Structure 1
Amino acid sequence: MRAPASGLRRVALWAAALGLALLLIGLAAAWAERREARLQADSVRRSMEVHALALRDAAGKYRHLPFTAGLHPDLRAALERPRDAAAQARANRYIAEVNREAGSDALYLIGADGVTRAASNWDTPQSFVGHSYANRPYFVDALAGRSGMFYGVGQTTGAPGLFLSAPVRSDSGAVRGVVTVKVSLHPQQAAWAYARDPILLSDARGLVFLSSVPGWLYHALRAVPPAEMDRMRSEQQYGPRPGFPALPWRVDREPGKPGESGEGGEAGYLVRTELGGKSRRFLAVDEPLPELGWTLTMLSDHAEVARAGERAWLLGTLAAAVLLLGGLYWQLRERRFAEQRNARRELELRVRERTQALDEAHAFRKAMEDSLLVGMRARDAEGRITYVNPAFCTMTGYAAEELLGRLPPYPYWHPDDVAQHWQHYEAMMRGEPALSGFESRLMHRGGREVITMVYTAPLVRADGTHAGWMSSVVDITEQKRAEQRQRQNDEQLQHAQRLASLGEMASTLAHELNQPLMALSNYASAAKAFAQQGRADLLADTLDETMAQAQRSAEIVRRIRGFVRQQTAGTEACAVDALVANALALVRGDMRQRGARAQVRIAPGLAPVRGDRVLLEQVLLNLIANALQAMEATPPQDRTVDIDAQACGGRLCIRVTDRGPGIPAALAEQVFAPFFTTKPAGLGLGLNICRTIAEAHRGRLSFADRPGGGTVFTLELETDAP
């Protein structure tokens, strides 16, 4: 009976030992799986930090490009003058240059109606110019005065990208248009192709728009409501797609599983799917990117966790059977540690590469800021200067080290405008900066004046707190000088036109003066004879006539001198009948020589106009002279110049009508162009200067065909009525 009992005890001991061994091996296997799951989750999180940083950098480095580009005067001119081809061409060239230097995918300017005015790809078959993007959210947000951000498929090119937009404001602060930069995320997706496990990026609706697995693109993590589908179709976010199929996943979220927010303390969930024709199981970890509205999801092969448990079972079984296998287990463990160290070194290498790429991107952004012609100046909430770029230092003549940390009064304030500088500074500190910018005169360190336009906006930290103020300072000194030179050139052109008109009237002037001079000679001879005869009464009458003819000659000379002098009398109240009469007096001789006549019809009670009398007479004189020249081939009995003046819609309209052949339709667009003329000896400046004078008086000069032949020129002016 002992042998069977001993055998039973031995079996019991072996069974107990086997059970204990299995228990220990099971505990070891469970510990190995938990450990592998933690390592795997840590590795996923470190990788996600790198990818998330790359995505944030891709969006962040171009965030301020639309706002900065929208400050350029060429873009504002393109919005204000949409039919000006030259302005549109300048805007296209500027946008193309900025896009090329920034390295963005596309940069374009959209009008308030949603139609693209200028684009960096204006000269390509897929040009954005003329296309409407009014349905795009980034346009709607920017038109409302906010910065816009939107990821979607391009309506014109069909290529996806991230769209960042900013409003373009007029001097009054109104939004006149939108500048949008398109940034491609293809480099990030291309980098994911080298990742060992799948990576995907989804939007707020749960739609996958970026993935290292091409078959998962444009699949939905969850059902999309019909209203959201209608909105996406309206915005054409992902092109003309009928729907978004569900992502081919089966998600396990059982508590206590490795990777769950349970005992392991690791956020994540298990995913079952097919990849490469094989059923796979992954640990999925999500990383929200709230500032972008996206969610980054990384998957890691969960088979490693299962294999870790299997290895523990195998090693535990062998260790329980043979002590030698303990050494083998140690070697396997060391090998595993070596693999982890290699993986860690590989990860560190990748982090260093990413860091180097970020440093290079930072260096590129700094180089771009340094190359800007616009001065940038940042101040903290106390008014202390915290940043200046090289353009601002060049503008003021002070080095950055001399300006950083300075409080007002700043050394570059103009001594004559200190009170104005303090006024703008105090308004900024109260949170009331001039949204449309203001003109400011600075004093360069070398003593010369610098005229600038300053635009100030608040600096806001990531948490929404106010950090200070950022100012864009544009040097407009040369622009001001150019405007002054333009005014001087306009005056010279006006003077040249008066001289040209005077030259055309030279023969008329000689004829006008010849008559009173001959009369003076005749009256002088008669006065001499009457004096010899002693006829005092006839002598007095003759002398009176002599004085009248002398005054007539002086009046003719006075009118010509007043017309030809360059410096005019300035703004005054001008009666319409006096303007017409003075202009007709200067061409009366020319009208007699040509056998022409004038019919003047001036409505009674017309209010005077406010303006420069000499310049307004120059406009009427030029129009009348052109009418006379246009009727050279007209029969003498029909050579009539009609001059009408009457009130029209709260303004004064003066019409000069000839009965010539009219203006051909092919030349109608060039009538007011400078240096365009049909006269053999003309300068081609008369009508151009006339229109400039009319617009300077806030008026308008236009023309139309006269029924029956001829041309009607209409001068519209504002009246001086109270």
Structure 2
Amino acid sequence: MHAAGKLRTTLPALLLVVGGMLVAMWMAWRLAGDNAMRSEQAQVQRQSDLYVQALQQRIDRYRTLPQVLALDPELRAAVSAPLDPARRDALNRKLEQANSVTRSSTLTLIGGDGVALAASNWQLPTSNVGQDYAFRPYFRQAIARGEGRFYGIGVTTGEPGYFLSQAIRDDAGRAAGVVVIKIELAAPEREWLRTPDIVLVSDAHGVVFLASREAWRYRSLRPLDAADKRELDASRQYAGQPLLPLQAQLLREFADGARLVRLQAPASPGPVLWQTADLEQEGWQLHLLHDTGTVASASRNAALAAGGAWLALAFLGLFVQQRRRLTLHRQRSREELETVLRQHAQELRTAQDGIVQAARDADGGLSRSLEHLPQGVVIIDAELRLMAWNSRYAELFRFPPDLLQVGRHIEDLFRHNARRGLLGPGPVEDAIQRRLDHLRSGKPHLRESEKDDGTVLEIRGNPLPEGGFVTSYADITSYKNAARELRSLADALEHRVDERTRDLAAATAAAENANRYKTRFVAAAVHDLLQPLNAARMFLSALRGRLGDEAQAVAAHAENALAAQESILNSLLDIARLEAGSMQTRVRDFRLEPLLDALGHEFGILAASRGLVLRRVPIRAVVRSDEALLRRILQNYLSNAIRYTRSGRIVLGCRRDGDALRIEVHDQGPGIPDSLQGEIFEEFRRLDDGVAHDRGAGLGLATVERIGRLLGHRIGLRSQLGRGSMFSVTVPRGDAAHVEATTMALVDANADSSLRGCRVWCVDDDPRVCEATRALLQRWDCEVVLAAGAGDALAAAQSGDAPDLLVLDVLLDGTDGPALYPQLCKRWHATPPVVLVTAERDESLRELASDKGWGFLTKPVRPPALRALMTQLLLRRTR
């Protein structure tokens, strides 16, 4: 019966705990799964956009090359008249040299009949020369429309690539021939191997031709109809490769176009998230297949955490309930005990005189009147002899019957207890004497004593009016045990809280380590990407001096594309440095007017080119900030204003804001909805109503927000739909007396006399940068004695043969530029001027160059800046 009643009491509580745990786990599993899936969708969308941008930019690097070559007089003459062997050989070598500089796969010149006249691979067994390419779509497109593009497997080389073609027109404007460049896209596939995701690119027929995994290449994502098959056979696009169909099961579709699918051929271990992005200019689609194992893991972890939290909450509730019960029980027991003690004290005081008198007149009858008391009671007279006691007293101390006798001295009882070890450690006589002295003093006392068997006694003693002493012994063992259990429960709960705190600290540390790793990865990736960008800008600058007006416009578009790519990489690098906390600041007082003048001139030209008016309100003020970082904030504001304003004007000005100054940029763009004003300062957040070909990457305002936080400047935004926006940054005012006076030497970048005949060495471990620098310097009539890496430079350095100027990269194989320079000077026995070039945004390098008197430029190097700095160093050396 007792067990059944206990089961009926505990079963509802057990069902509540288990049922609540299951419900909490299910809800956490659903919520965490949905949140994780949304997060994965956003991450996959951003990643696919980055892949699309990278692939498009790689193609755009070569897009203008056929247009430039189509203007070449030699190629135009070659397709207009028959070729003799000498001219054909010269054309082959020219295309071979151009191909070695551009790093493309193949350059081919095709006549109007579709037969290749010359090619860069003319010396190889798989030469294109003499082959008929009239059936290829890129040839037909160029003849019909002036340009063409086509991805396929080469019929001569057997290697796949992307063909870009441009028609060569005669003096009458007719298409007399075609120049074709073939681009190999194996590099993006190798880069995609670094990610665990599957990356695919498909053509307009839905056939996968680029893939990060071999099993996916030449898969058709949809059934091919008869027209598709005829077109593929006619163009021999995939050279007879079997096009296997994709087998996948659709599990779920999302609002943004993403899909959750289960792959069957090729098979996948679990569902994948399939995201598609368009390469509109090429007519392709990029597909990113992301494993959703992290979503399942997040759901599982959330369910376990919710279950654990529910159990902890349930146990905490049970603990609190138990503690409340124990507290009530202890309070009730104490109240009962105090009531009993008060009653017995009153009875003792009332009967005290009678007890003493009866003890004097009788031989022990008084002990029977004390039997109803729950405590053990003993009474002694003024001479410390026994007068009365009850059976509870004899039971507590287990006295032998012959020891308890009226008139026996209390010292005998003490000595008996001492022999049994009940008086505690120390000398026995001292313990007995101490107790006797206390009884003789007649002072009341209250103390607790624990016996060997664990019994705890509360001993309360009071003197009698005519001498003597009455002592009571109460058993309070149950009360003490309850107090110890409460302390044990409290210690266990505190231990659990400490464990949860340590787990939370470990999870926080892991998240911080992951964020630092991501930041270091982004900084290293941007540094590597700046190297080829630097070479491309130098090649383009060297090429522009040799082109006509029409080709100059094409080159200007290419330079704008490279500038946009540089802006994106610089923004990524700034964000990485800001997140890592490695960006150094140089806060000082400076005049704001020169900075606003420079920005007004720089962006005024860009605004005018787009039909806008940039108005600057003059102001004379001194502010305290980092001039370079403040310039970066305002550059982003002005760039966004020009990008999103279709017509009207843009205003750059300042307002006083108490002791600070608020710099504002007003535009007449479309405005920003209130719901998006908090999101546009996040990475890769951008509006969709900007200029179609210049929408940016969504990094500018994210950089602004972090720089403002670093400098302690308040970033502001006020916008109204249809009326425009106002972005602001509030900076403290400075002291005009502390403004540093700086003087910069102005150098005419177009002066030819300072650089003509100048002997220059270029030391860089990237061959593309060396070739680009050589071409640029030779255009300026410089004599480039050496353009190679550190090892070649040391081998070539000889006494008395020092160059007039050295262009030196910082990061080299096995060493660095500042360490290599003294070694070269020792071999030359001379110290020529040096321009230090680096892709690192490190202020310590800039300070080192300033201390040494060296020139300093960051990659990608702008040719005008390099020319001005070289001229300045040479003039300084002459003086």
Q: Give the alignment's TM-score, normalised by structure 2.
A: 0.40
Structure with bigger gyration radius: 2
Q: Give the alignment's TM-score, normalised by structure 1.
A: 0.48
